[in-house]
Amino acid sequence: MGKWTEELTQEQITEVNRQMAIYRKGVQELIPSEDLERKVAKAVSEKRPLKIKLGLDPSAPDVHLGHTVVLNKIRQFQENGHTIQIIIGDFTGKIGDPTGKSVARQQLTDEEVKENARTYFEQFGKVVDMEKVELHYNSKWLSKLDFEDVINMAGKITVARLLERDDFEKRMDDHKPISLHEFFYPLMQGYDSVVLESDVELGGTDQHFNILMGRHFQEKYGKEKQVAMLMPLLEGLDGVEKMSKSKKNYIGIDESPNEMFGKAMSIPDELMIKYFELVTDTGPEEIDEMRTQIETGELHPRDAKMKLGKTIVKMYHDEKKAAEAEKHFISVFSERLVPEDIPVMKWTGEDEVGVLDLLVELNLLTSKSEARRMIQNRGVSLDGDKVEDPKLQVSVKVGMVVQVGKRKFVKIEM
């Protein structure tokens, strides 16, 4: 505990410690930890809110559970009276964020950026109180900068420092091109923090470099440095890659109860507890208890996962819908004798495919004519629903279960 305690009453110290315990929960990196404590202490003693920043790339507006890891943290700050600054990188979006990509992303038009931002706003309301949030478009200040301003900004950072960013370093090593304009994404993100005088910036660990740019530029422009609060990345349904729209391994927060529940049931057992920790409001004691019960065999992983599915559906719909989704899942899968270990097959074809092609390509049947006969005999189901029309176009999805006859099952992976 730092020097800040000297000027605080015992009651205030208790309050700082209470808030710090909440903010530290689930955080992977806090840079530097003592700065956050000092800032919270000052906020408590001066009775003024901290400014908590979250920058959003408007190129992928479908909000999924991966986003909620950070949004839940935002809500914690909000519940303690702090000010949330959400920055829509509408200007930044014209460049695209090359984080974690090995090729430059395509630039968005003004129109696309605005439309995507609107979609974000609507969905965020499910997690945070949007009426208490400060919304900012960074084009407001960035579009006003002229060449001389840009040069002044560029004069405050070295090329070597920028090349330290993992993806830039890798691309240099691999002799893959980095377009000079990509260097400006982290600069802009840092400059946003200068303009907004943010106290804390939130993001996933993949934002490590960009969020530290905020500290760098705030110092160079003579401002107090923000704290970088980095949350763990949530793996998607495949259990390997970061949850993202482009990997198609996500649970969207505006999906239907049945979709949500089904997808939750498809995550690997090993990730269950991490999901409870990062995307649900389940308390740490309850999570610890579940972990122990699973280890001792007292709780079947399938039942724990059912609980996870219900918890998630309840958060984004309601308790009744959660119960119905569970019931639907059980009736479709468990009661129709879906075996415990369904073989999983990777789908590499088109997202939209005729049902006959689907059955043949999955090697469930040997020819289209055989497939057509099986459908006419009411022997084919998709996610428990009988297929009636041999001309049906199927939207292939992760976790979809294809059944032929009584015993042949395949679960699709993408």
Q: Is 160 in the site for a second copy (CB under 8 A)?
A: yes
Smallest gap from residue 188 Cβ to a second copy (A):
9
In the complex, what is the shortest distance from the CB of residue 119 to a second copy, in angstroms, rounded to a whole number? 23
Is residue 181 part of the contact set for a second copy (CB under 8 A)? yes
The tally of CA atoms less than 13 A away on the side-chain side of residue 67 is: 25
From the list 13, 27, 135, 157, which residue makes contact with a second copy (rule: CB under 8 A)?
157
Check residue 155 for interaction with a second copy (CB under 8 A).
yes
* Shortest distance (Å) from residue 109 CB to a second copy: 12
What's the first-to-final CA gap in the chain, in angstroms? Answer: 49
Q: Does 330 bind a second copy (CB under 8 A)?
A: no
3 carries a ligand binding annotation: no
* Residue 399: strand, helix, or coil: coil
Q: What is the rounded CA–CA span in Å between residue 273 and residue 232?
A: 14
For the record, the structure tokens of 219 come out as: 């110092």
Q: Using CB under 8 A as the criterion, what x/- string covers residues 67-96 for binding a second copy?
A: ------------------------x--xx-
Site residue total, a second copy (CB under 8 A): 34
Nearer CB in complex with a second copy: 46/146: 146
Residue whose entry in the numeric block shows the structure tokens 């478009």:
137
In the complex, least distance from residue 246 CB atom to a second copy, rounded to whole angstroms: 22
Question: What is the smallest separation between the CB atom of 168 and a second copy, expressed in angstroms?
Answer: 8
CA distance 222 to 159: 21
Longest dimension (CA), the chain: 82
How many residues are given for the chain? 414
Under the binding rule (CB under 8 A), the answer on residue 217 touching a second copy is no
Site map (CB under 8 A) of a second copy, residues 125-154, x = contact? -----------------xxxxxxxxxxx-x
Is the CB of 9 or the CB of 152 nearer to a second copy? 152
Within residues 351-390, the interface with a second copy by CB under 8 A covers none
User: At residue 413, what are phi and psi to the nearest 5 degrees?
Assistant: -120, 155
- Kindly tell me which of 108 and 279 has the beta carbon lying closer to a second copy: 108
Query: Which of helix, strand or coil describes residue 285?
Result: helix
Q: In this structure, what DSSP letter does residue 231 have?
A: E
Nearest alpha carbon to residue 316 among 257, 268, 383:
257
Pairing of strands 385-386, 380-382: antiparallel
Q: Give the C-alpha distances (Å, rounded to integers) separating 335 from 261, 360, 384.
A: 16, 26, 10
- To a second copy, the closest distance from the beta carbon of 198 in angstroms equals 20
Q: How far apart are CA 414 and CA 412, in angstroms?
A: 7
Residues annotated within a binding site for ATP: 245
Q: Which residues bind a second copy (CB under 8 A)?
A: 91, 94-95, 107, 142-152, 154-155, 157-160, 162-163, 168, 172, 175, 177-181, 183-184, 187
Residues annotated within a binding site: 245
